[in-house]
Amino acid sequence: MNVYFDNAATTPIEKKVLDKMLPFMEEGYGNPSSIHKRGREIKSAIEKSRAMVAEILCCEPGEIFFTSGGTEADNMFLINTVYEKNIDSVITSKIEHHAVLHCCDFLNKSYNTNIKYVKTDEKGKVDLEDLESLLKKNSNSVVSLMHGNNEIGNINNLKQLSKVCEQHRVILHSDTVQTVGHYPINLNEIEIHGIVGSAHKFHGPKGIGFLYLNNKHKISPFIHGGAQERNMRGGTENVYGIVGLSEALSLASEEMENHKSKILSVKKHMISALKNKIKGVRFNGLSESSDESLYTVLNVSIPEIEDQQMFLFNLDINNIAASAGSACTSGSDSGSHVLNEIKTEKNHVNVRFSFSKYNTIEEVDYVIEKIIEIKNL
């Protein structure tokens, strides 16, 4: 059996999405900036895709800007906002994705921007009282807190964060890469200045994402050299990527509740089976919770195993794809920065299993059988 439990890193592209993209790879090769018929047809496809994304997120098409992915979108928002608005501080947490944390490091080194970290508890939950305290002391700030954590699955309440930031009249940005396409997001109901998405997290193609930029929040281009994306991002558009993104998001939105129900049943089965068959098993962060964590992510702490890389290697030998943390930091000797910030068990190996609509109960049973075999080696 081949089991892919690393969907928080990337998801397999859906056949319907690929079918939608192929005509634009084979025949739709016009440059969308060209004024002739072929160019106009391709430009129209991009704008239809933009309108589709905007409709799903309940915003204006003019607030959606296509990028190469979530990382570029995070950088585009944070760097240009801090630079152009003369922001003094960025308030974030130490368990954000590196797309935000490394961007903050850059801002600190390049613009002397103060980086303030809101407290999190032993489960990785953001301390809202501490956030309030930081905002009182740092009024000229941008707050950047992710919607769903890619490693431990913790979910922040965007409406709650929005209200806090609105009260203090500060700018709010959220890395929503793990929630777009998996949770309903109604931007009419949230006062937020920027969110991001990445198609390969919801069964779309890699190399394409978007930035939602609230109409009230104006920034300059991040990439220069062309008038594409309404003068916001120079460079010929990734046409078939954009078409694939909108198709994938549309399909994900249509079947969102069905997918959630199916995936959650797989996650719950894995939690129950692990508890029954592996004594002392723990779950990192809030990932055991159905309400406070992503239904796609389960971060497991397995006892009596210390060599994490060897454990993952043994899973791989048994055709099981899982992760020690974020794929974006694989190969790092320092381990997961997220797990280093929260309480984890000693002499346990920590593994992230992340699920999609294609996973099954049978796959969970196979994985647990192999975990027990590896433990007994």
Indicate which residues carry an active-site annotation.
Answer: 328
- Residue 352's closest CA among 339, 343, 370, 365? 339
Contacts of 114 (CB under 8 A, 6+ apart): 88, 89, 90, 108, 138
CA distance 239 to 305: 47
Do the beta carbons of residue 256 and residue 182 sit within 8 Å?
yes
Q: Is 290 exposed, middle or buried (0-12, 13-18, 19+ CB in 10 A)?
A: exposed
CA distance 377 to 363: 21
H runs (alpha helix) in the chain: 15-26, 37-57, 70-84, 98-111, 128-137, 158-167, 228-231, 239-254, 256-277, 308-317, 337-341, 361-375
CA-CA distance, 10 to 197, in Å (whole number)? Answer: 13
Q: What secondary structure, in 3-state letters, does 16-53 show?
A: HHHHHHHHHHHCCCCCCCCCCHHHHHHHHHHHHHHHHH
Parallel, antiparallel or unpaired: strands 171-174 and 209-213: unpaired
Closest CA to 151 of 343, 338, 367: 338
Contact 70, 175 (CB under 8 A): yes
